[in-house]
Amino acid sequence: MDYKLQVGVQSHLEMGSLEDRSMQDLHDECLHSPETDARKNQTTYSNEPLPFSDGRLPAGCNNMIGHGVYRSIKTVVFSNKLNLLMPFGPLAILVHKLTAHNGWVFFLSLLGITPLAERLGYATEQLAFYTGPTIGGLLNATFGNATELIISIYALKSGMTRVVQLSLLGSILSNMLLVLGCAFFCGGLVYHRKEQVFNKATAIVNSGLLLMAVMGLLFPAVLHYTHTERQYGKSELSLSRFSSCVMLVAYAAYLVFQLKGQNDLYAPINEENLDDDDDDDDDDDDDDDDDDDGGGGGGGGGGGGDDDEAPEISKWESGIWLVILTAWISILSDYLVDTIQGASEAWDVSIAFISVILLPIIGNAAEHASAIMFAMKDKLDISLGVAIGSSTQISMFGIPFCVVIGWMMGQEMDLNFQLFETATLFITVIVVAFFLQEGTSNYFKGLMLILAYLIVAASFFAHEDPTSANEKKQP
Amino acid sequence: MDYKVQVGVQSHLEMGPLDDRTMEDLDDECLFPSEMDAQKTQSVDPNQHISVSGSLPFNGNKMTRNGVYKSIKTVVFSNKLNLLMPFGPLAILVHKMTDSSGWVFFLSLLGITPLAERLGYATEQLAFFTGPTVGGLLNATFGNATELIISIYALKSGMKRVVQLSLLGSILSNMLLVLGCAFFCGGLVYHGKEQVFSKATAVVNSGLLLMAVMGLLFPAVLHYTHTERIVGKSELALSRFSSCVMLLAYAAYLVFQLKSQTDLYVPLGEEVNQNGENLDNNDDDEDEAPEISKWESIIWLAIMTAWISILSDYLVDTIEGASDAWDVPIAFISVILLPIIGNAAEHASAIMFAMKDKLDISLGVAIGSSTQISMFGIPFCVVIGWMMGQEMDLNFQLFETATLFITVIVVAFFLQEGTSNYFKGLMLILCYLIVAASFFVHEDPPTDDQSKQPGT
């Protein structure tokens, strides 16, 4: 999920998983030299605790594999400050077994998932190194919001379709308003003398896709609420399933369009990077911008060399970590979904509020931080990719995908998000599309978006969802 | 309310009260040489009757008396609109003598119009003395003081629906009617070319309007999907919270405008120069010293506000009677009639500026006023209602909220191009006709607090 040019299409396709870049920036100072210089010969610190995968590989194997495992764990697990939250995952399971306190289990699982989500993105991006730009882009496009999808699938399995709808909706809203607003705001404060610019074309395409997604969501809801379905109860489900397939086709077409057009889209960015030496410190980080070789090319500036480097973990390691992290996320998601109702009662807030506001904010924390960081470095395009790209992906891929998965599971998940939520999404998309169409940003626009999110959050706080109150976990 | 370069930020901040410029333009021929040259030594025409300043001591020395006379002459008589001033006292007279609410309402309305315009004039004069920052803030707050005063009186009477409707009507009339007329007349005069205006300001204002609509939409949708947690209380709490957020946003908007006023100013100055108008003459007029002294401005400000308050009281009292007498719904009076007549001065000035190809000022008058009412006026009334203990909320009922929503989207769409022509103006005017017709046939469902509560 780096802003990598080798996997060039990523930066256009799905920048949702770009948080690793910033994390790596932070950690490069301490990790860069030892890690990349001595890949498999590094002496390990034998007193490092190995939380996850040590037991799998035979410790009696030769030194090389042992070191490889240790180093791999070190790279993946310890290279990120966010991973301090990792122990919360097992802790949540512990608390669940020991007490019945749903509120705490929910909260701890949430905290435990956050670093895993971030690492999952990292693993995906590492894997993308080996698979080439096309598959890499697709990987990012699919796994970019894997965490939300995994949580949603577990909720679907439990029959909690309302939680699915609400959490996906909340993810879209928080990405569009909160993440984007914070990015604009912080970037605008740092660069308050000038207006930051971003690529209008990408923003407008994404806005158009979001509007189309809203359209897909609006019709089942309106159909239901005007009581004009042909077959009450069945029509909107069929319409939802059909619309979902259409939306998935649209998303696939979007991917193809991006992949095919990446060369055209790339040239302007190249020129922009080459020309602007002052305001674009892209040159430092994105040497691969200029060199389009796939294998990790020129060194360039100090921090920039990191991008061109060979991936930090090998292909099989990436794959294995991907699997491990997905498994962990699945386990914690199960607890999360189990305890959401208990948490709602324990904290005396509606399930709607938890699903729409709390879940996405904490789940998206890493993306949030990275978007802000990029904005403060005047790389607003990346921030926009993280925020709006993620929203687009969830709305055009995540939601229809869940409907289809529900279809296969036999769950009646549809696109009727109920009137209040649909209206919220509609007005939000219009406001954001309007804000984006100018192609510039300043701290005031960011503040407006953040305040708009405050209003949305307050509305959901005051909102009692009639259907989710009736949802219980199905066995 | 002049397009003044000294109080530079005004033209960006709140051009609502810019009508004086045009009125002065009209009257400059007769007043300019005599007024400017002899500030306080002008011999007074003893035949001028003094309508409002009986409070000043007549026994003061000749200079003060001349000053008073001159001040009155400047403020009261320099504007043709002030011919309507006698209607104010006349309304009070009619109210005391007859029971005809319809007439009292109509006369008070006519009486308020010139007062509103003069209030803006006094504000702008005061802004001369306070410097650009406070001046801008003054304009931003008092720009729609008339609507706010009427609203506060209605709130005190517990007529929160009238408040909502009149503020809504003010927004709609500014966005559609005033803007449409400005575009239309300007387009007719300059039909050879397309007039341009600053897209950036228009887009920022449109964004703010959309955000205001968002703030209004959620309480309404919450109520109408019957999904509040606590029926009746949730939307009030949400409205109050949203109002605070919106006020915060408006304050941030002011800060942002003030901070960036230098940047925004340069293009405007250049644009004005590019238009090739007789800018030198206008700039000279604008650079002039203020016409009345600082204390005069403040006193006149107070006097005007007091008069407007009195007439507002009668206005609010008689709105129901007028609705019965004329057989039109209160909604129609509040949304359509009240704003049109109340805004007459701004309306005229916007048209005049458009015809002089100064479309940015027209836009400032129209859209800036809408933004101010939606992001400041409405939340302010909610907060005032909160302090008074009135349950004023942001739930404008579905019909009105939907109207506002669609209107804001249409106008935002029209504005995003940055050009104007008579066709766009005509479209906006026709849209307003549709909105007005809708409200004519719209019966506001009765709520508990429609009738005036006793003890006011």
pTM: 0.74
Torsion of CA B36, B39, B41, B43, to 10 degrees: 60
H-helix or E-strand spanning residue A196: strand A196-197
Cα distance from B372 to chain A (closest Cα, Å)?
A: 15
As a whole number of angstroms, the distance between CA B254 and CA B14 comes to: 10
Q: Do A420 and B222 touch (CB under 8 A)?
A: yes
Q: How many contacts, defined by CB atoms under 8 Å, are there between A and B?
A: 91
Task: Indicate the range of A281-295, B133-147, B278-292, B328-342 predicted with least confidence.
Answer: A281-295
DSSP A441: E
**Per-residue pLDDT averaged across B63-82, rounded?**
70
The CATH homologous superfamily of the domain defined by B78-266+292-441: NCX, central ion-binding region (1.20.1420.30)
Whether A41 shows a pLDDT value over 60: the answer reads no
Whether B30 shows a pLDDT value over 60: the answer reads no
- The third-level CATH classification (topology) of the domain covering A79-266+313-465 is A middle domain of Talin 1 (1.20.1420)
- Encoding tokens for residue B429? 């005017």
What pLDDT is stored for residue B382 in this prediction?
93
Whether B219 shows a pLDDT value over 60: the answer reads yes
Nearest to B228 among A451, A456, A462 (CB): A462
What pLDDT is stored for residue B78 in this prediction?
67
What pLDDT is stored for residue A468 in this prediction?
54
**Chain A residues near residue B252 by CB distance under 8 angstroms:** 444, 447-448
As a whole number of angstroms, the distance between CA B55 and CA B445 comes to: 47
Nearest to A455 among B215, B228, B416 (CB): B215
Cα distance from B404 to chain A (closest Cα, Å)?
A: 13
As beta bridge partners, residue B228 has A463
H-helix or E-strand spanning residue A197: strand A196-197
**Per-residue pLDDT averaged across B47-62, rounded?**
46
Whether A304 shows a pLDDT value over 60: the answer reads no
Instruction: With beta carbons less than 8 A apart as the criterion, state whether A240 and A220 touch.
Output: yes
Helix (H, G, I), strand (E, B) or coil at A101: coil
Q: Among residues B208, B199, B214, which one has the least CA distance to residue B254? A: B208
Which position has the higher pLDDT, A163 or A228? A163
DSSP A463: B
**Per-residue pLDDT averaged across B100-117, rounded?**
82
Q: Do A423 and B221 touch (CB under 8 A)?
A: yes
How far the first Cα of chain B sits from its last, in Å, is: 33
Nearest CA in chain B to A440: B200
pLDDT band at B290 (very low <50, low <70, confident <90, very high): low
What pLDDT is stored for residue B275 in this prediction?
44
Q: Do B245 and A443 touch (CB under 8 A)?
A: no
Which position has the higher pLDDT, B301 or B64? B301
Nearest CA in chain A to B242: A455
- Encoding tokens for residue A195? 């207006």
**Per-residue pLDDT averaged across A199-223, rounded?**
87
Q: Do A458 and B249 touch (CB under 8 A)?
A: no
What pLDDT is stored for residue A279 in this prediction?
40
| φ, ψ for residue A196, nearest 5 deg | -80, 145
Cα distance from A265 to chain B (closest Cα, Å)?
A: 25
Listed in sequence order, the residues at least 6 apart from A390 whose beta carbon sits closer than 8 Å to its beta carbon are A14, A15, A16, A144, A145, A171, A175, A179, A364, A367
**Chain B residues near residue A438 by CB distance under 8 angstroms:** 200, 203
B377-414 pLDDT tens trace: 999 999 999 998 888 888 888 889 999 999 999 998 88
What pLDDT is stored for residue A244 in this prediction?
92
Q: Do B208 and A447 touch (CB under 8 A)?
A: no
Helix (H, G, I), strand (E, B) or coil at A440: strand
Q: Do B221 and A420 touch (CB under 8 A)?
A: yes
Cα distance from A465 to chain B (closest Cα, Å)?
A: 6
Cα distance from A337 to chain B (closest Cα, Å)?
A: 23
pLDDT band at B224 (very low <50, low <70, confident <90, very high): confident
Q: Do B207 and A420 touch (CB under 8 A)?
A: no
The residue among B201, B209, B214 with the most chain A CBs within 10 A of its CB, best to mutate, is: B214
Nearest to B227 among A447, A456, A466 (CB): A466
Q: Among residues A173, A149, A212, A180, which one has the least CA distance to residue A387? A: A180
What pLDDT is stored for residue A343 in this prediction?
86
Cα distance from B367 to chain A (closest Cα, Å)?
A: 17
Share of chain A above pLDDT 90, in %: 13
CA angle A254, A256, A257 (to 5 degrees): 60
Whether A399 shows a pLDDT value over 70: the answer reads yes
Torsion of CA A455, A458, A462, A463, to 10 degrees: 70
The residue among A443, A453, A464, A465 with the most chain B CBs within 10 A of its CB, best to mutate, is: A464
**Chain A residues near residue B200 by CB distance under 8 angstroms:** 438
Q: Among residues A317, A381, A50, which one has the least CA distance to residue A183? A: A381
**Chain B residues near residue A458 by CB distance under 8 angstroms:** 218, 238, 241-242, 245
**What's chain B's average pLDDT?**
74
Q: Do B214 and A455 touch (CB under 8 A)?
A: yes
3-state secondary structure chain B: CCCCCCCCCHHHHCCCCCHHHHHHHHHHHHHHHHHHHCCCCCCCCCCCCCCCCCCCCCCCCHHHHHHHHHHHHHHHHCCHHHHHCCHHHHHHHHHHHCCCHHHHHHHHHHHHHHHHHHHHHHHHHHHHHHHHHHHHHHHHHHCCHHHHHHHHHHHHCCCHHHHHHHHHHHHHHHHHHHHHHHHHHHHHHCCCCCEECCHHHHHHHHHHHHHHHHHHHHHHHHHHCCCECCCCCHHHHHHHHHHHHHHHHHHHHHHHHHHCHHHHHHHHHHHHHHCCCCHHHHHHHHHCCCCCCHHHHHHHHHHHHHHHHHHHHHHHHHHHHHHHHHCCCHHHHHHHHHHHHHCHHHHHHHHHHHHCCCHHHHHHHHHHHHHHHHHHHHHHHHHHHHHHCCCCCCCCHHHHHHHHHHHHHHHHHHHCCCEECHHHHHHHHHHHHHHHHHHHCCCCCCCCCCCCCCCC
Nearest to A451 among B227, B235, B249 (CB): B249
Q: Do B214 and A454 touch (CB under 8 A)?
A: no
Whether A112 shows a pLDDT value over 80: the answer reads yes
Q: Among residues A150, A153, A93, which one has the least CA distance to residue A121? A: A150
Cα distance from A452 to chain B (closest Cα, Å)?
A: 7
Instruction: With beta carbons less than 8 A apart as the criterion, state whether A183 and A189 touch.
Output: no
Strands (E) in A294-383, as ranges, are none
What pLDDT is stored for residue B132 in this prediction?
67
What pLDDT is stored for residue B103 in this prediction?
81
- Encoding tokens for residue B60? 């003061």
Q: How many CB atoms lie within 10 A of CB B93?
A: 12
- Encoding tokens for residue B148? 């706010």
The residue among B203, B213, B218 with the most chain A CBs within 10 A of its CB, best to mutate, is: B218
Nearest to A462 among B200, B234, B409 (CB): B234
As a whole number of angstroms, the distance between CA A242 and CA B162 comes to: 47
Which position has the higher pLDDT, A268 or A259? A259
pLDDT band at A36 (very low <50, low <70, confident <90, very high): very low
Cα distance from A383 to chain B (closest Cα, Å)?
A: 21
Instruction: With beta carbons less than 8 A apart as the criterion, state whether A181 and A449 touch.
Output: yes
As a whole number of angstroms, the distance between CA B313 and CA B153 comes to: 6
Listed in sequence order, the residues at least 6 apart from A149 whose beta carbon sits closer than 8 Å to its beta carbon are A398, A401, A402
Whether A154 shows a pLDDT value over 50: the answer reads yes
As beta bridge partners, residue B196 has B419
Whether B99 shows a pLDDT value over 50: the answer reads yes
**How many CA atoms lie less than 13 Å away from A100 in the CB half-sphere?**
2
**What's chain A's average pLDDT?**
73
Listed in sequence order, the residues at least 6 apart from B143 whose beta carbon sits closer than 8 Å to its beta carbon are B14, B15, B16, B17, B120, B123, B368, B369, B372
**Chain B residues near residue A437 by CB distance under 8 angstroms:** 203, 416
What pLDDT is stored for residue A141 in this prediction?
67
